[in-house]
Amino acid sequence: MGLTLAQKIIQAHLISGDISAVGSEIALRIDQTLTQDATGTMAYLEFETMGIDRVRTERSVAYIDHNTLQSGFENADDHRYIQSVAKKHGIYFSRPGNGICHQVHLERFGIPGKTLIGSDSHTPTGGGIGMLAFGAGGLDVAVAMGGGAYYINMPKMYKVNLTGKLREFVTAKDVSLEILRILSVKGGVGAIIEWGGEGVATLSVPERATITNMGTELGATTSIFPSDEVTRAFLKAEGREADWVALASDPDAVYDRVIDIDLSTLKPLIACPHMPDNVVTVESLKGTKVDQVCIGSCTNSSLLDMLKVAALLKGRTISPEVSLSISPGSKQVLSMLAECGALTDILASGARVLECACGPCIGMGFSPNSAGVSLRTFNRNFEGRSGTADAKVYLVSPETAVAAALTGEITDPCLLGHMPEIVFPEAFRIDDSAILAPADPEEAKSLEVLRGPNIKKFPDSVPQEDAIRAELILKVGDNITTDHIMPAGAKILPYRSNIPHLSQFCFGVCDKTFPERAKAAGQGIIVGGINYGQGSSREHAALVPMYLGVRVVITKSFARIHVANLINAGIMPLTFRDPADYDELNQGDMLSISNVYEGMEHGEMTLTDETTGKTYPLVCQFTDRQKAILKAGSLLQYTKQIGEEN
């Protein structure tokens, strides 16, 4: 029996485990890591705590792309800290303005067949060139930088078989929305999605990267495309043809599920508020008034996307009722737009050009007006993520975004006429002056790491005890995202390196009283529904609850990255054996679990609701390593213990 492409890369990087045992824990050697500034400061504080002088990966890169709005000293101090720690410890540093981490990494560092983990959930963008790329929490990235293994449960293998070719004004974004319509935001949990079939050859690397980027919204472990002649041409244009290698699955590879999509039958699609899988056709919403349009993000900010946008805007003016922002994905993209005149066409339309950063996607500026309708080429439209609590955010392709900007309402882009021919360059403009190399090991010894007053120490964790008694301090519903748990936005992101201050915003979207109630309780238990913790990989959604005394989270089901982050923070994730028991528990009840250690071994525990006297069976599936992490109190404490023992 042959192997899938993902299985081949896993096999080549396997430290321990069995690729044939789906669901069992495997350990992988990691070739590359990336961080961004919203999660990177904490990741590097964790790395420093480990006491390792220099990273042990082939390539680690620190990007500044999230917290670029410097309205106070906090973000600037974090950037200075990251730059100094990168120079000292062997990490490349991508300066503010150089671009979004996933776009730049694809352009300058990604290599087919290599493994990559990043402290950002959209790291699977690297699958567009055949990397096995995972989003992870900062602790996992810190351990990988120190030479440690990355642990995941061996995923199932899904294949999406593409046939046909996309029609005019139908895009890779529409392919992403179609697979979300088919699978939902939880349909990819526990699986790697491989894209194949004859239709793959019709998609460029930027289009493939859009699709692998949005595979994150499926809950998938990662997504990957084969590395073929299209990949080779892209790397050649980047001056990196030597990094190319052909990669494909075996003809007799076996998949757990195969999904067929005929590209030629797709229509322009749109995801409605407030979930990426709330997908309908664009034409079904025609005439809906639009207040704002945002084009960019790590999903749709490539040169190809921007050239299409410029071509459609050329000679036209956006509606006076619409505010349009354009965020090129990298300095390379912006420079090439300027050189070919496309940037002038964009500016002449009335669009506002923002810097090469995440910007509005992470709630860092350009928030919609009150109750505004905003069409965005981003990957997420969670409630409140835009920075405006009552905004209605829709996810669309760049072409559909332009149509709305020109007409002032949701419009099928096919009505714009014919798509102008896009001449894609055979060579890209290479300028790595904004990527700073680290110091050599000898020089690094004398370098100082610079810390501002907003950078606080990593919070202490508490070892998991054999018995737990705590109040149910918060009960939430299905599809709770990490944006619900630990919101983003310009007012909150500057405090990502200051857990005590950050804690006052925890679960603010759900219950503004939560932080104070959690502190008053001392320790607590959270209960949630299906797919708890979906969305961003931000470990702050685990670290802050840990700081506030959360000891256990009990749900109907979890998202992959978040359950790993909970364990890394020393919080025990448990699930209901019978999901209906969720309805029996009430916020404020006093709950208890005894014989925790024995329960970890057998995969079963009993929850007692002391308020009602009822008991409920809970289940868990912890590896020996995860049990040890929980008993130690966190991955950081566990890593320290292992180091002391060795």
Grouping H, G, I as helix, E, B as strand and the rest as coil, residue 576 is strand
CA distance 422 to 207: 14
Read off the pLDDT of residues 47-99 as tens digits, 9 standing for 90 and up.
998 889 999 999 999 999 998 888 888 889 999 999 999 999 999 999 999 99
| 274 and 217 share one domain | no
- C-alpha dihedral sign at 353, 355, 361, 365: negative
Domain-embedded: residue 438:
no
Domain that holds residue 164: 5-265
Residue 390 has pLDDT above 60, yes or no: yes
Decide: helix, strand or coil at residue 16: strand
Both structure tokens of 236: 């050649």
In the chain, how many domains are there? Answer: 3
Picking from 265, 280, 308, the residue at the C-terminal end of a domain is: 265
* pLDDT reported for residue 646: 52
How many angstroms from the chain centroid is the CA of residue 474? 25
Residue tagged 């749900």 (tokens) = 555
Closest CA to 337 of 44, 38, 46, 99: 99
Within 8 A by CB and 6+ apart from 38, the residues are 66, 67, 362, 488, 493, 496, 538
Cβ atoms of 511 and 542 within 8 Å: the answer is no
Q: What is the mean pLDDT of residues 156-180?
A: 98
- At residue 644, the pLDDT reads 58
Q: Is residue 436 part of a domain?
A: no
| pLDDT of 49 | 86
Rounded mean pLDDT, 597-604: 96
Q: Please check whether residues 106 and 169 belong to one and the same domain.
A: yes
Is position 134 within any domain?
Answer: yes
Do residues 477 and 581 both lie within one domain?
Answer: yes
* Token pair in block for residue 539: 């470990």
| 261/273 same-domain check | no
264-323 pLDDT, tens per residue?
A: 999 999 999 999 999 999 999 999 999 999 999 999 999 999 999 999 999 999 999 999
User: CATH number of the domain that 82 lies in?
Assistant: 3.30.499.10
Burial class of residue 359, CB neighbours in 10 A (0-12, 13-18, 19+): buried
CATH number at residue 532: 3.20.19.10
Is residue 614 situated within a structural domain? yes
The per-residue pLDDT for 413 is: 97
Amino acid present at 250: D
Residues 472 and 567 placed together within one structural domain of the fold: yes
Q: State the Cα–Cα distance between residues 357 and 330, nearest whole angstrom.
A: 8
Asked if 40 and 27 sit in the same domain, the reply is: yes
The answer, yes or no, to whether residue 559 has pLDDT greater than 80, is: yes
Question: pTM score, two decimals?
Answer: 0.92
Q: What is the pLDDT of residues 189-243, one digit of tens each?
A: 999 999 999 999 999 999 999 999 999 999 999 999 999 999 999 999 999 999 9
- pLDDT at 643 (0 to 100): 61
- pLDDT above 90 covers a percentage of the chain that reads 87
Residues 6+ apart with CB under 8 A from 162: 175, 195, 196, 197, 198, 199, 200, 203, 261, 263
Calculate the average pLDDT of the chain.
95
Q: Name the pLDDT band for 387 (thresholds 50, 70, 90).
A: confident
Q: 143 Cβ partners below 8 Å, 6+ apart?
A: 50, 149, 150, 635, 639
Which DSSP string do the residues of 503-557 spell out, in sequence order? GGGTTTTT-TTHHHHHHHHSSEEEE--TTBTBS---THHHHHHHHTTEEEEEES-
Tokens of 481: 């995202």
Q: Sheet holding 92-94: strands in order across? A: 132-135, 115-118, 32-36, 59-63, 92-94, 435-436
Q: How many CA atoms lie within 13 A of 208 on its CB side?
A: 29
pLDDT at residue 431 in the model? 96
> Do 203 and 274 share a domain, yes or no?
no
Q: How far apart are CA 182 and CA 160, in angstroms?
A: 11
Do 261 and 274 share a domain, yes or no? no
Same domain, 53 and 159: yes
- Which of these three, 238, 265, 292, is where a domain ends? 265
Within-domain flag for 322: yes
**280 and 257 fall within a common domain:** no
Residue 460 in any domain: the answer is no
**Stretch 35-46: mean pLDDT:** 92
Same domain, 107 and 155: yes
> Contact at 8 Å (CB) between 151 and 26?
yes
From the number of C-beta atoms within 10 Å of its C-beta (0-12, 13-18, 19+), residue 72 rates as exposed
Give me the mean pLDDT over the 435-463 stretch.
Answer: 92
Beta-bridge mates of residue 158? 193, 257
Question: Position of tokens 């020089």?
Answer: 443
**371, 386, 412 - which closes a domain:** 412
Does residue 147 have a pLDDT over 60?
Answer: yes
- Mean pLDDT value of segment 349-364: 92
Residues 89 and 132 in one domain: yes
Q: 213 Cβ partners below 8 Å, 6+ apart? A: 102, 122, 124, 125, 128, 176, 298, 299, 379
| Banded pLDDT at 116 (limits 50, 70, 90) | very high
The helix (H) or strand (E) run that includes residue 614 is strand 614-619
In a domain, 356, yes or no: yes
Domain assignment present for 20: yes
